[in-house]
Amino acid sequence: MRTFATLGRRKAVLGMIHLAPLPGTPFHEEGSFERTLDVAVQSAIALSEGGADGCLVQTVERVYGVKDESDPARTTAMGLIVDAIGRATGDDFQIGVQLMRNAIRASLAVAKVARGSFVRAGALVGATLTEHGLVEANPLEVMEYRDKIDAWGVKIIADVASTQFTWLGGAKPVAEVARRAKHVGADAVSLGDPDEAKTLAMIASVRAAAPDLPILLAGHTNHANAARLMAAADGAFVGACLEQGGWGGRIDRDRVAAYVEIVRGLER
């Protein structure tokens, strides 16, 4: 079984694998699934060969439901992709699942059955207002389901301040949101802002409130700022700077290797 035992113990470089719309969603193109699967597998191989610690397989479907649910065809397609990535990479390569917008239970199911090692939760506590509507967390249902399928070995990384999650009303300090996420079962949190100074300040505040809670960058990182941001964080979800042609493209091995070299230099 693949386990994310190094979370919080080694700086994790996790490349984003952005999927084309999957079966069961409005903008899925008939006949495109095999191409989507192939691009995902080749991108995962590039990440592995470039020295990354793993990947986050994330749906990109233009429109999403706001409830913790996922169409069966979509969930099955994600499972096939995660399984294929697992077969193409080693057991030390971490595979994360995120069925957007906030289908945490379906993501847990895919990770458990298809041998993923973590999920990313857009809203594990509180609520956030998105362009698709109000996303409300239900940590009790998530943890009950995690227990039902015995997915305690699948780590949960919860967004606490990012493009995916902003505490509704904006009055809750990010450190308090992180503490609450940990309290209900999160194994780590992710956060980030386009303003580098704000990101570093958020990291510092969470460190003070929950010293043993791993913190990952929720994007907004690239080769130019990796040394500064990753010196403070325990890992990062890394996207566009690794992709050919920008966001959504196939991941490039050499770009991965260059980013990883910067991060590993911080650990020497």
Query: Using one digit for the tens of pLDDT, what is the confidence trace for 48-84?
Result: 999 999 999 999 999 999 999 999 999 999 999 999 9
Q: What is the pLDDT of residue 216?
A: 98
Peptide bond into 101 cis (omega under 30): yes
| Burial group, residue 158, by CB count within 10 angstroms (0-12, 13-18, 19+) | buried
pLDDT band at 245 (very low <50, low <70, confident <90, very high): confident
- DSSP H or E stretch at residue 59: strand 54-59
10-46 as b/e: b if 16+ CB within 10 A: ebbbbbbbbbbbbbbbeebeeeebeebbebbbbbbbb
Query: Using one digit for the tens of pLDDT, what is the confidence trace for 189-218?
Result: 999 999 999 999 999 999 999 999 999 999
pLDDT band at 240 (very low <50, low <70, confident <90, very high): very high
| Burial group, residue 3, by CB count within 10 angstroms (0-12, 13-18, 19+) | middle
- Please state the pTM of the whole predicted model: 0.97
